[in-house]
Amino acid sequence: MLYAFFWVIIQTPGNYPKESIQNWRILTNKEIYASVKKPTVIETIRLNRLCWSGHVQRMEENRIPKRVLYMNLETTRLRGRPRNIWQDEVREDGRIVGGEGWQEKVHNREEWKNLLRTAWNRRILHVLME
């Protein structure tokens, strides 16, 4: 989407001197994210996933979302590489954001909120675009 947006700007004729238009070029996504300094979509998804995980872990044991999250389905897997499950992704992101003891920090809501806010501001879950 950003590619198309910048392509339109570059191709739009205007009252610009011809020399300045020749120096324009299409920016890559990596350059755009570096200049904007905003979280990428992937970072936003990962942080929201951690936020929801903390919310569910603080729930009472009999609540439906918590029971569904930790439900063990007796099914067979397909051949090939095992697919990543949601809990593995949360575990990995939690370890990146909060270190090894991140699961104890989840139960203190204020500490967890501050930890996620710090991760958001410092872009700890930043993934380099290729």
pLDDT digits 0-9 by tens, 36-60: 777 778 888 999 999 999 999 999 9
Q: Is 102 helix (H, G, I), strand (E, B) or coil?
A: helix
Which residues, in sequence order, are CB contacts of 57 under 8 Å at separation 6+? 66, 103, 106, 107
Residue 117 confidence (pLDDT) above 70 = yes
pLDDT digits 0-9 by tens, 95-114: 888 888 888 888 889 999 99
Nearest to 70, CA basis, from 84, 82, 53, 83: 53
Residue range 18-25: mean pLDDT, rounded: 63
Residue 63 confidence (pLDDT) above 90 = yes
Distance CA 84, CA 46 (A): 14
